[in-house]
Structure formats: C-alpha cells, structure tokens
Structure 1
Amino acid sequence: MSVVVENNEIQQVTGGLKEGQARKAHVVYKTSGTGKGEASLVCKLCSARKADGEPVQVSFMMKSNQAVNEEYHRISAYLESDELKCRNRECPTNLNGKPLKLKKRGFTKAGHQRYQCLTCGKSLTDSDGSRTHRRAEINLRLFDLLVSKVPLRKIAKLLHISQKTIYDKIDFIHSQCMKFVAEREQRLLDGKLKLHRLYLSTDRQVQITNWVKREDKRNTELYGIGTACLKTGYVFAFNFNFDHHELQEDIEAYARFVNDSARPKHHRDTARVWLEEEFEEAAKRAMKAPTVAAMDLIDAAAQKAKIDEAFNENLASEDFDSSTRLPAKGVLVHNEYTMLGHFLHLKHLFRHVGKTRFYMDQDAGMKNAYLSIFHNEIKAGNSDGFLVRSEKGFTVDDKRRALAETNALIRRLTGVPRKQLSSRDFIKVVTALVGEALNNMVRIGNSPELWLRYPIATMPEPEKVVAAITDISRYELQHKAHLYRKASLHAIDRFFMVARRDVNLLERPFHSATNQSRVWNGYSPYDPAMLTKLGDIYRVYYNYVNINDKRETPAMRLGLANGPVATEKIVYYGKYEK
C-alpha cells in the first residue's frame, strides 16, 4: 500500500503502484528514509518553517494500515457478539448463508440452553465450551482473592486446588468478565447512553515478567496503555502490546516465506509484531547509546541540542537493551501499533459521544497516535488533545510542601482557608489563575507546543506543565482556561496505582545493586498472558464492583450501572437477566 497527496489530503493508493513508488511528486509532501527499512512522510512547508527557526514537527513515521487494523480487531474483539451457529458443517445455514432458525429444547445438565436447528434438525447449545466446574462455588472466592493481593500459591492452599486448576479458572473468569463488560459497553456503541462530552486521561504502564530459564536471565517488558474518564474514573480500555494467540515461530516462518525482511517495515505482512532480527538490532542500538557518564563529557550546548531534538523527533516508544528479550510464549507487538489500535478502539467506542478531550502523557508516539486516529474529529472541532508532563521525583514531604504553598496562595487571593471554599468557588479561583498563566506560556526544549505551567499543586501532581496539541485558538479565553484547568492524568494513574496494590501479579518488581539491571520478583508471572488477563479482570472489578467512600463505582457515575455489581453476576454472567 502506498500514499499520495491530492489537494493537501493524504490518500491511500492500493493498486497500480509498486511498493515505495509515488504516483507523482507533490509540492507539499515527500518521503524520507530514516533507518533500516523505515520511512517518514515529510511536510515541505513545515521544513521551510523550521529552517526559519520556527519549532515545528516536520515528519511522521509511516505505519502499516493493515497492522493497525489487525491490532484494533485484537483489542476490540471482546465487543463482537458470539452468534450461535449450527454445529452441522453440512447445514445450509453454514454453506449458503441461509438464516438460522432455532427452537428451544430444554437445558443441558450444566444448565446451558439447548436449541434445535429447524433446518437440519441438529441440536446445539449456547455453551462457550468451557469445562464443567465440579466446585463452582470457589470461583467467587477465587475472583475475590485475585483482586485482594493474594499470591497464586497462597490461593491454591486456601482453596485446596492445584495450580493448573487456578489457571483454568482464571481463563473462565476472564472470559466471563469480557462477556459482561461487552454487554454493558454495547450501550455506548448503540448510543443508548447519551454522553455530551468526555474528558479523558491516557497514560502507559510498564510490566515485567520473570525469566523462564536460569541460562537466560533476561526479562520481557510489556507496555500497557490505559484511558480513564476524568470525571467518573471509568477505565474504558487497558491494553498491553502482547498477543497470546500467535506463536513467534509461526510468525518467523511466515516472514521468511514472504521475504518480509526485504520490504520496508510499513509494507510488511508482519509489521505488527517484533521479529527476532529487528528486536536484536533494537537492543544493539540501545547498547551503543551513550551512558550517563559519557554524556557528562559532552559540552552543554550539545546536551541541550539532544534534549531539544527529543521533543521534536519520532523516537521509539520502547526501551530495549541487553537485559530484555522477546516473550517465551506469544508475540510482542510494536507499541506504536498498540497505541494506534487503542485510540481506534476508543474512537469506535465513542462514536455517539458529542465531544472528547484527551489529556495524555508526554510520551513518544502517543501524541502521533491520537492525531492520526482522531484527525477527522479534530478537524470538525469535536476533539482536542493536550500533553501533560508531571514531575515524578517529588517525595511525600515535597508534595506536602507544594500543597501548603498552594493553600497559602489561595488564602491570600480569597481571604479564607481553602477547606472553607466550596467546590464552585475553588474552581473559579483555579480557572482565574490558569487564565493568568495563559499569558506566560513557555517553550520546553525544541517542542513545537507552548506549555503552561500549572499554577497550583495537588498531592498526585505537585508540579506539571500542559500543552495543547490541537488548535484551540477558536475558543474564548475563559474556555481555554477551563480546558487547561482540567488537565490531569490522575484518573488513569490512580487506576494503575490501585491495580499494583490490589493484584499481586501486577505489583511493581524491585531492582537491586547486584542483579546487573535484571529484575526478578517471586510474585511476577512467567507467562505474559497472565498480565493481560489479570489486567482485564481488574478493569471490570475496578469499574463495576469496587466502591468509593460514597458507595459508588465508576460505572455508576458514568451511567452503565445502577449500583455496585455483585461478583456473582459477573462470574456467572449469562445465568441472570441482562
């Protein structure tokens, strides 16, 4: 697949062109090679502006639309309904698309509805094929223990079951959770839940699995990207760049068969996943990068130039070195494609939402992923994006000191302590401070964006800067101040934090001075698939079961639930009226 530009619009060309061949030169865009098998789309007009000293991003890495679509379908597969099909392969309903007509014929011993096909007479059930649970009552206890920081070995002892039984039941619980949340989120897809505007925070989390062989003590790193609603806390998606349905050896064999290594990366059939050869090349490049000690020898001007460049170029969103490896099971997905698939899934989920406002971590690739997927909504004025950079190195004492300074500032402005202000009055004060800060925007490095220094501190985010990545000049000053005031990553970062605290397998691993950058944690999983399954299970628990001080769940505040959902209705989904 190639791209051309007509009337300043990028368009796809699927036929009549060879790979890498352009139909004609264009006055605005050109392609440029940036590395082995890589290419970028370069804007000539922006290049001229950059030559004049204006800080602008001039190029974007070219990606495979096919790979983005594959990752989107992997991420959103849980929303696809499991339609009943006749088990008889020779049935006309399977051969020529004849409509399936069924008649109820009682229940199986396991309690599943039995049907009879009126076309061929064969019987079928609505069972998903999961095995019978002889001790079904412990499924509820297992669900509660999984989200209560209990290690798997401890769970096995408490429930008197084997490790294999635990893994089988986790698969069952994960399947039930996905069916349950699919039915609830279908209300978003159908437009039954009317949402005029959503303010969303998006960030990434790194998870590490243990090595499986003592001879190869390298870890596998997975990146999980999540998006949560700022107002309700509802987590709409939490996706890892890992696919347990594929096998690395099968992907490698297919890549050799079609000679993928001879093609540009954005034209490859296997563009979505990491191949062994390119992973080793990425690790070698990381090893050749200058260390901190070597950087000290570079003069200050050169260091500043490198920092400036980091804000403007398309840097890799994965950090590999000699201590990392590909997963022993499943395949590792290029993180850029997972981010693109994540935003495409959100776009599909929000198709009936009036407007969206995204507040994203200043992360390599996340900005480009959002702009690529939501470009039509951005052009129509229905979506805006902001980058948020928050200081992570504050101690608790530093945070309290910053918060005390903020409280003192508010008291000077209002004449009353902050605790005595109503929420509405507090918002007015902060909006006024943000409005003043809009007159003192700053540049960081060579960033193409102007950044606002947030005027107040909070415990989760004691110091941060915010930048708009979409054109908000059409808004009045008060509206701009309102958008900047709401800038925060707290909603998704809180989900990450409590997930690490509540799920043993998601706990942050520890480093030591003697392990040479290797990480091993007795509670971390060996199979990366466990991270994705436990992440999905905990998202459902967090949204629908876990209550706050007001006995509310994020799903209740969003409108997808009338009250806290009992775990029984999730684990045994399908046995209750929907």
Structure 2
Amino acid sequence: MSEGESIPAANAPKKSSRAQTRRLPRNVGVFSVNFCRNAQCRLFGIAPDPYRRTGQSPSPGNQPHGKITGAGDDRSFFCPACGLAHAIKSNHAIAEEYSRLSDLYRRTKRETCPNAVCGNHRLPIGLMPSAYRLFGKTAKGDARYQCKACRKTFSIGLPTRRHKKTDKTGAIMRGLVNKMAMSRLCETAQVTFPHIHSKIDFLFNQCLAFAGEREARLHQCFDGKEPFFSTDAQTILVNWPIKNRRGTVPLLHMATVHKSSQFVVAATIDYDPDVDPDELEKAMDAAGDFARPRSMRRFARLWPASEYRASVVKRLPHIFTREDLAAGGKYELPGRGSRVRGDIFHYAHMMLVRKLVGRSYRVANFCVDAESGLANAIAALLVDEVKAGKVNIAEISFSKGLTNDERAALAVEGRKRYREELKRFAAEIAQIQVEYPDIEDEEALAVHILRLTCGPGPQPARGKMLATIGLDWPYHSKAEPEKTIRLKTDIGLMDWDGLAKFMTRASIHPVDAYFNLARRRIAGFERGLPTASNRQRIWHAYSFYNPEMVPKLATILRFYHNYMLPRGKEKATPAMKLGLARGIVYERDLFGFG
C-alpha cells in the first residue's frame, strides 16, 4: 500500500465507514521524527494525528492535530502548542540511510560461501562452522574450506595474500594522508594507477574492519561521564566530468568529534555508490513517486537524476546551464552512484553517532553549527534523554568571514576583557563560589553573566531566551570570534552552575580543526580558489574524478587520525586518550588485521 493511499477506518461500520488518508509518512516500527521538535514545548516528542480529519471525527485526545502546510519538499507540521513549523521527513528514508551507514561501520572480515545464491552466503564460518568443512590448503598454505550446501570452495588467509607489491602499501598509505597527489604516488612508489586504486580499496576495507572491531566497545569509554561532541559538515568537490565545461560536484563530509580526546566518532559522506541514479529514476517513475510529496515517497532517500540535475543548475547557474548539459551528452552527476538527500543524511549520521556513543553516559552534550539544522535532528532522535536532562543540545554561531589579523585582534580583546572582568566582579565570583563550591573562576564568572543576561526569573523564560536569542559569549577566541550559543534544551533541570559549565565548554572547534586537518592531509579535499576572471569555472587540480574516492579517503583519514597519528606533548593518539588503544596502531597491525 502506498503512502498516500486511503485505508478503512479501524472501528467504523462497513456501510458508513469513510476512508482515512494519511497526511504524515508511516512510522518504521515505532520510529518517527515527525512531531514537535522544540524541547521547550509541552508537545515535544508527542506524535500528532497522522490522518486527515476533514468532515470526520476529531483526533484522538492523546494526539495533537496541528496543521500541515506546503507542498513537495516544503511540507511542514505546525505545532498547535508553540506554533513552530517542523519540516516533514520520510521515516523510511532515514531508516534506510542509517542502515547503510551502520553496515559500513560494523563491517568485519567474515568469510562466507562465495556463491551468492547459496543459503550459506551470509553465514560466516565463525558463526556456523558446522556449515563448512576443511578442504585442504592452497599452494601458499592458506586453509581451504568447502561449503556443505553447494560444494563451493574458498580459502582463508592473510588480508594481503592477493596483493602484489605489498611492500608498497605503507608508502602509499603515508602518501595518501600526507597530501600526495595520485600521479606523484605513482612516480615515487613506482606503481600504476590501477595498483594505487587497488591499495585504496584494501586500506578502506582494513580500516573499516579494524575500527569496527575496536569501536564495538566505544560506548564504554563514556560510561558515567559528561562528554562533549561537536558536529558539522564540509563540502568536498569532485571534478565535473566534461573538461570543456569546467566545474565541480559537491559532496558533504559530515563528522562528529569528541572534544577532550579529539576522537572522530563518525565521518560519513552523502554518497551511495551502489545505486545508479538513472535506475532510481525508473523505479520512482514506476512507483508513482514523482506525483507525491517527497516525504511520502517510496524512494525518498536519494536524489533522482532529473531532480538532482535541476537542483544543480538552480544552485550553480554561473557554472552549468541546460545547454552545458546538452553539450555534455549523458548527464553523469555525480558520475557514479547517487547522492543522499541532505536532511536524510543529517538524521542518519546522528543516528549512527547515537548508536556508537550508547546511552550509559551521565550527560551527553552536543554542539552543532547553527546553519546546519542538526539541533532539531538530535532532539528528535533523543526525545526521552532530552526530557530526562541527559542530553544538552546547542547551536553555535560565530563570525566566519574574518581575516587572520581580525580574528587575532578579537582574541587579544577577549583575553583582555576576561582578565578585567575577573577583577571587576571578584566579589560576585567569590559569593558564587560559596554558593557552588566546585566551580572554577571562569565558570563562576559565567554564572554572573548568565544571571545578568537571563535575570532571576522562572526557568521557562530562561530556557526560551537561551533557545532563541542565545548567549553572546564576550570572551572571543581566535577559533570562534564573536560566538553565540543557543542552548535548545534548557527545560529547567540545570542549576546555574551546570548551565555555566556547559556554556564555558560549548564549541564546534574540535570538528572544525578536524576538517582543517582533512584539507591539509588529503589532496582531493583541498579547497579551490575561485577568481573573478574565470567566473568561478575552476578545474580543481587535485580533486577526484571518481566520487567513490571521497568516502574511501575519508574513512582512511579517520582511522589514521584516530589510531596512528600521535599529537600533543604526550604523543598520544585520540584512541589512546579515549581508552580504545594502549598505544599507536602500526601499519603492520592494520594490514594484517583479520
């Protein structure tokens, strides 16, 4: 039954029954994100009535009705309590994308029957050894097994057993994460382009397998703690495939970073290499999806070719025109595979983070870029935790267009003001530290600022003010000058000291620092430099031509950063700081894993 199809009313007599038409997408089990996502609202997290009620009985008493307005991508639910509009999302699409991302993150090297039509194809030897029998050894001594169901044989050995020139693998990996272009890698390692690509595939799979095994216990690192996480996205450009029509295709690289250890919890790309956009278009046409609002479609996760083409032409009119597309022949954007819809990708990324982080923390604190819309996604996915005061969510904004000298001057001004106000409010700080003995000077000063800003009024007024207007942090830093913090989840469960501790730590600098590292270390992630003379028609010299390279290099860099790159005076990797590793993971450990 399709999303917009009418169904009989459950308890109505057959003769007088009226068809009920859905106005909201179906849930996936009990999973849904279509409700009021405003944590300050009394209807936060309460599912509205999913059916149209025109000329029928009113909504059940436990379900708010509210209005649905807009069409296509712009359909929104207006909460009848707070009046805020919430874009309607496809629950099915979010669940599908989360499944894709989580499958990647828990990928392990499990040997199964290679016959795709065999019943044992998805049954690993480790889980069901009785389904296989030993069948001798290969010429190199690797164990050979036979599937008892279809009699197909296969061997199990080191991950490197089918790789030629294995002595080059380490040099290739080091070159990839040290901004060496593919052509230079071929030259220095004396290998071919196909060999480089085969090594990238090998490294990608090894990084996924090693990290998947190790990070199955990542949630234990946060037991009883109050971790801070920062999330944002950067744009990675892939070269447009028609050279005489120069331009680029954007892919989103989203990352979530743990603040104190700098461990990258997740780094994902809004690109699915396994779905052809033209085949997707045919399936959507057959399902009648183009006649439905996007949130009600069967295939709502990905961009179909025609809509993606129109979107790119609309957003980049100075680079691509419809004549460009006609002259270029077959439209191949992003070249291979399909791009995931941005909002679906955001929700799925945060679902993955929720899974990896677990729920045994004392309080989890999420800081996101104010322009990303991620705060609503996190609130929708963690309703119970927000209501219990176990999750805080803040949007961070700051001045991003400043020069280095301007940011440095603001940082000097911020440090000067901080020292001056420590002296000016010394008496108030001392009194606050009597009231809250466990807080530091900076936190006590933050309590004073918050009380001056919010006033001593009731908590609901404070929560609404911090969620909408926010707090302008007066002590500028070079990384985040003129910062504003909008705390979306102050529902009266935090005292002034807890609120001050959050405000002094709230930042998205950890994820921004990781993105800067990504641009410095991966040649294909380098930002281009548009100029007025060429009307932005830039052919990015180091950008990848194949979009499949972006998620692979993002995965390799994440592993290298987390497990192999020691930083700071203590020369420890983020995994060591977090407790996931006792020491540096060496190349031999990665290459031989499994």
> What's the TM-score bracket when you normalise by the shorter of the two chains?
0.7 to 0.9
What are the equivalent positions in structure 2 for 1:482-493 lying under 5 Å apart? Answer: 482-493=501-512
Task: Spell out, residue by residue over 1:29-50, the C-alpha distance to the aligned partner (whole angstroms, 9 max, x if none).
Answer: 3342323364211112222xxx
CA distance, structure 2, for counterparts of residue 21 and residue 489 of structure 1: 49
Aligned match of 1:466: 485
Structure 2 counterpart of 1:456, one-letter code:
Y
Residue identity in the other structure for 2:338? V
1:447/1:408 Cα in 2 relative to 1: closer, same or farther (>3 Å)? Answer: closer
Counterpart contact for 2:76–2:88, Cα < 8 Å:
yes
Q: Which runs of 5+ in 2 are unaligned?
A: 4-21, 27-34, 37-41, 326-331, 424-432, 455-461
Q: Rate the CA distance shift 1:276–1:31 in 2: closer, same or farther, 3 A.
A: farther
Residue aligning to 2:584:
564
1:365 is matched with 373
Aligned equivalent of 2:163, options 128, 133, 142: 133
Return the offset for 1:463: 2.4
CA 1:260–1:127 in structure 2 vs 1: closer, same or farther (change >3 Å)?
A: farther
Which position in structure 2 is the counterpart of 1:60? Answer: 86
SS at match of 2:227: strand
State the partner residue of 1:343. 350
Tell me the equivalent position of 2:176. 146
Aligned residue for 1:166? 196
Counterpart residue number, 2:7: none
- The secondary structure found in structure 2 opposite 1:458 is coil
The CA RMSD over aligned residues, in Å, is: 3.8
Contact 1:452 1:467 in 2 (8 A): yes
| Partner Cα distance (1:39, 1:529) in 2 | 32
The 1:390/1:321 distance shift into structure 2, 3 A limit, reads: farther
User: Residue in 2 aligned with 1:401?
Assistant: 409
Cα 1:188–1:236 shift into 2, 3 Å: same
Map 1:30-49 onto structure 2 (within 5 A): 30-36=66-72, 38-47=74-83
The 10-residue stretch of structure 1 (522-531 or 101-110) with the greater mean CA deviation from structure 2: 101-110
CA drift of 1:397 comes to 2.0
Give the match's secondary structure for 1:201: strand
Distance 1:398 1:38 in 2: 39
The offset of 1:353, in angstroms, is: 3.2
Which structure 1 segments of 5+ residues have no match? 48-57, 292-318, 416-423
Aligned counterparts, 1:103-114, within 5 A: 108-109=138-139, 112-114=142-144
* Residue 476 (structure 1) aligned with residue 495 (structure 2): yes
Cα distance in 1 between the residues matched to 2:376 and 2:321: 24
Deviation readout 1:494-553 (Å, 9 max, x if unpaired): 110011111111111121212323332111111111111111100000001111132111
| Contact 1:140–1:567 under 8 Å retained in 2 | yes
TM-score (norm 2): 0.78
Residue 99 of structure 1 deviates from its aligned partner by: 4.7
Instruction: Give the Cα separation in 1 of the matches to 2:69 and 2:376.
Output: 18
Cα distance in 1 between the residues matched to 2:530 and 2:315 = 20
Mapped pair 1:551 → 2:571: yes
Give, as a single letter, the amino acid of the residue that structure 1 aligns with 2:516: M
Q: 1:20 to 1:80 in 2, by over 3 A?
A: farther
Task: Check conservation: 1:432, 1:481, Cα contact below 8 A.
Answer: yes
- Structure 2 CA distance, aligned partners of 1:452 and 1:320? 42
Q: Summarize the Cα distance change of 1:226–1:167 in structure 2 as closer, same or farther, 3 Å threshold.
A: same
Residue type matched to 1:209 in 2? V
Q: What do the CA deviations read for 1:306-355 (whole angstroms, capped 9, x no partner)?
A: xxxxxxxxxxxxx9998998311111111111110001101111224313
Given candidates 531, 543, 553, the residue that maps to 1:524 is: 543
Equivalent of 1:178, from 205, 208, 211?
208
* 1:153 Cα deviation from its structure 2 partner: 0.2
Letter in 2 for 1:30: G
Match of 1:73 among 99, 112, 116: 99
> Residue type of the partner of 1:234?
F
For 1:413 and 1:493, locate their aligned partners in 2 and report how far apart those are by CA, in whole Å: 29
Contact 1:437 1:454 in 2 (8 A): no
Tell me if structure 2 keeps the 8 A contact 1:34–1:40: yes
Task: Tell me the SS of whatever aligns to 1:200.
Answer: strand
Query: In 1, Cα distance between the equivalents of 2:536 and 2:466?
Result: 31
**For 1:345-389, what per-residue CA distance to the aligned partner results, in whole angstroms no more than 9, with x for missing partners?**
011112243131101110243122112212222123221100110
Q: How many residues align?
A: 523
CA contact (8 A) 1:220 1:327 kept: yes
CA distance in 2, matches of 1:77, 1:24: 42
Q: Secondary structure at the match of 2:538?
A: coil
Instruction: Name the residue aligned to 1:310.
Output: none
TM-score, normalised by the number of residues in structure 1: 0.80
Amino acid at match of 1:251: L
**Identity across matched positions, percent:** 26
